[in-house]
Structure 1
Amino acid sequence: MIPAELSAGQLGQWVGQHLWPLFRLASFLMVIPIFGTQLVPARVRLGLALLMTILIVPMVPDVPEVEALSADAVVITLQQVLIGVGMGFALTALWQLFVIAGQMIAMQMGLGFASMVDPANGVNVPVLSQIYTITITLLFLAMNGHLVAFEIFIESFRVMPIGLEGLGQAGVWELAHRISWMFASAMLLALPAVTAVFIVNISFGVMTRAAPQMNIFALGFPIGLIFGLFSIWVLHANFLPHFQEYTQQTFEFMRGLQRP
Structure 2
Amino acid sequence: MLELDPAQLERMVSSFLWPFFRIASFFMAIPMIGSQMVPIRIRLGLAIAVVVLLLPVVPEMPLYDGLSFANVKVIGQQILIGAVMGFIVHVLFQVFALGAQITAMQMGLGFASTSDPANGVSVVILGQYYLMIVMMLFLASNAHLIMIEVMAESFALIPVGTPIAMDSFWKMALTGSWMFSGAMMIALPAVTALLVVNFAFGVMTRAAPQLNIFAIGFPFTMLMGLLIVWVSMSDLLGHYYNMTEFALEYLRGLMVTE
- Range into which the TM-score falls when normalised by the shorter chain: over 0.9
2:175 to 154, 173, 178: 178
In structure 2, the partner of 1:214 is 211
In structure 1, the partner of 2:234 is 237
C-alpha RMSD of the superposition:
1.7
Structure 1: distance between partners of 2:17 and 2:210? 73
In structure 1, the partner of 2:192 is 195
Structure 2: distance between partners of 1:40 and 1:168? 33
In structure 2, the partner of 1:47 is 45
- Per-residue Cα deviation, 1:12-41 (whole angstroms, up to 9, x for no partner): 554332112111001000111121112211
Structure 1: distance between partners of 2:39 and 2:235? 35
* Pairs within 5 Å for 1:64-213: 64-65=62-63, 67-163=65-161, 165-213=162-210
CA contact (8 A) 2:165 2:256 kept: no
User: Identity rate of aligned residues, in percent?
Assistant: 48
- The amino acid that maps onto 1:113 is F
SS at match of 1:116: strand
Unaligned runs of at least 5 residues, structure 1: none
Q: Does 1:256 align with 2:253?
A: yes
Structure 1: distance between partners of 2:194 and 2:101? 14
Which TM-score applies when normalising by structure 1? Answer: 0.93
- The amino acid that maps onto 1:252 is E
Structure 2: distance between partners of 1:34 and 1:57? 25
Structure 2: distance between partners of 1:13 and 1:79? 20
SS at match of 2:184: helix
Structure 2: distance between partners of 1:210 and 1:12? 83
- The amino acid that maps onto 2:108 is G
User: Number of residues paired by the alignment?
Assistant: 256
- The amino acid that maps onto 1:158 is A
- The amino acid that maps onto 1:145 is A
- Per-residue Cα deviation, 1:64-101 (whole angstroms, up to 9, x for no partner): 23522111101100000000000111111110000000
Q: Does 72-81 or 14-23 show the bigger shift? A: 14-23
- The amino acid that maps onto 1:183 is F
Structure 2: distance between partners of 1:167 and 1:33? 24
Unaligned runs of at least 5 residues, structure 2: none
- Per-residue Cα deviation, 1:202-259 (whole angstroms, up to 9, x for no partner): 2212222332222111110011111111111111111111111111111111222223
Structure 2: distance between partners of 1:23 and 1:202? 55
Q: Shift in Å at residue 161 of structure 1?
A: 1.0
SS at match of 1:59: coil
Structure 2: distance between partners of 1:92 and 1:167? 21
* Pairs within 5 Å for 1:12-27: 13-27=11-25
- The amino acid that maps onto 1:104 is I
Q: Shift in Å at residue 3 of structure 1?
A: 6.4
